[in-house]
Amino acid sequence: MSTNPLTLSTLMDAVKRGVALRANLELQPAAGPGTKVFPPTYADAQDKKDRERYGEHKYATELRRIDGEDVLCVLLDSVASQANRMELALQDGWERQELNFPLVNVDFTEADAQLEAPVGGISALQAPHRIYDAILRDSVDASGTLFRYTEAGQAVTNATARDASALYRYCPTALIFGAWDSTGPKGGLGSKFQRCVTSEIIGVGVKTGTKVGGRIDPLGIIKKAGPVFEGEGNDDWSLDKPKGKAKEIDPSGINHGNIAPTRTTETGGVTFDRAQQTTVVSLPALRRLKFRSNTQGGALTDRAGAELAARTSLAALSLAAIAGAHAEGHDLRSGALLVGNGPLQVEVIGSDGQVSGTYILDAEQAAELLNQADAAASKLGMGWEREPMSALKPAAKLVGLLAKSQALEAKEAPGDDEAE
């Protein structure tokens, strides 16, 4: 294994000729091997054979071929969830000014005065559909023009893989994580960009477990003390039946009294031999992206060189996302904190399937590589601006809809849930 850092020239050569950048990282629970982890839950299996094969639980389990054997595995973090974690890492790095790449933001600061729950801001990294999300669609620029009808909005609407210059200029993260303008003016024929970075975490060699619960009320209120009569909220109830209709409930319905011990296998957690994170950057997918203009909208004098430089910047941005997410730690959800068995290593895979180089990569090295790639791209007209357009603001109709939604949610929200 090479102990040398991944250089810009090595990365550029990989983008030009290679097939993939790959990182395989073995993980274990932070509490130690063999301790229980809680995967994400999904709807029950509908097929009887699946229930018989995998058990009565709500986890995404499946048999995978590993070293010539069928091994039961469980999904610990999906491709979509991993993408969100990498986007969050990029957002944090951008805000700390450690990473420099274009990012479009919607500023809710003025609107927050009308909202019960302030928003602050939403970026294209935080919006579910990225640059094509409804939050951006329903936002306006300084002149009051809806984003879709601004110069930037029209450019990204018309962008395609055959000319992705506009997306590279305004939202390059959409080019690496994928995006589809499915709700735009072209409907299903809207701009579509495949995901270039994929990552998932699985548990290998799985045994499912059980979960127990219950609660002891220090006041010792028993069920027979009820019923009580429900008001408009859990903090509004009475012992005496009010006039008119009123729902009778047990004391447990207002969070008083004991909860009998329970046991479930549906969400009982899992143990496993090891967890495996597999991350791949598709270099052919990057090479399919074409660029016909520079980031100022002008003509390219060296298109071949500019395209290679732009794709290398996208590859470096991908590595910054991967290394940044790893540096943040693999805290997937409550009861699912994983740690790596060693450093993050990136392999360069050639067209013959062979590993041409293996490099240890941390967040600081990835940030420096991104800076170098952007500097090289700038010389060919493909340099980035941190904020390629002034911050958008939510349109009045979006603020009104959000304010109404928050008011209704506050009025109808149930009382405090029991957390285990």
Q: What residue segments make up the domains of the chain, in order of their start?
A: 8-206+267-400, 211-264
Mean pLDDT, residues 198-225 taken together: 90
The answer to whether 19 and 349 have CB atoms below 8 angstroms apart is yes
Provide the Cα torsion 72, 353, 13, 291; round to 10°: -70
Mean pLDDT, residues 173-200 taken together: 92
Pairing type for strands 355-360 and 345-349 reads antiparallel
User: Each residue of 308-347: pLDDT tens digit?
Assistant: 999 999 999 999 999 999 999 999 999 999 999 999 999 9
The answer to whether 295 and 384 have CB atoms below 8 angstroms apart is yes
User: Each residue of 359-397: pLDDT tens digit?
Assistant: 999 999 999 999 999 999 999 999 999 999 999 999 999
- How far CA 101 is from CA of 119, 131, 173, 320, 386, in Å, comes to 23, 14, 9, 11, 5
Name residues whose C-beta falls within 8 Å of residue 166's C-beta, 6 or more positions apart in sequence: 152, 155, 156, 158, 159
Give the model's pLDDT for residue 418.
38
Mean per-residue pLDDT of the chain: 91
Give the model's pLDDT for residue 54.
61
Q: Which of 268, 253, 264, 262 is nearest to 215 (CA)?
A: 262
The Cα–Cα gap between 12 and 18 comes to 10
Is a pLDDT exceeding 80 seen at residue 49? Answer: no
The answer to whether 223 and 251 have CB atoms below 8 angstroms apart is yes
Is a pLDDT exceeding 80 seen at residue 71? Answer: yes
User: Each residue of 269-296: pLDDT tens digit?
Assistant: 999 999 999 999 999 999 999 999 999 9
Give the model's pLDDT for residue 232.
64
Give the model's pLDDT for residue 417.
40
Mean pLDDT, residues 90-95 taken together: 98
The Cα–Cα gap between 391 and 92 comes to 18
User: Each residue of 135-163: pLDDT tens digit?
Assistant: 999 999 999 999 999 999 999 999 999 99
Is a pLDDT exceeding 50 seen at residue 94? Answer: yes
pLDDT class of 247 with cuts at 50, 70, 90: confident
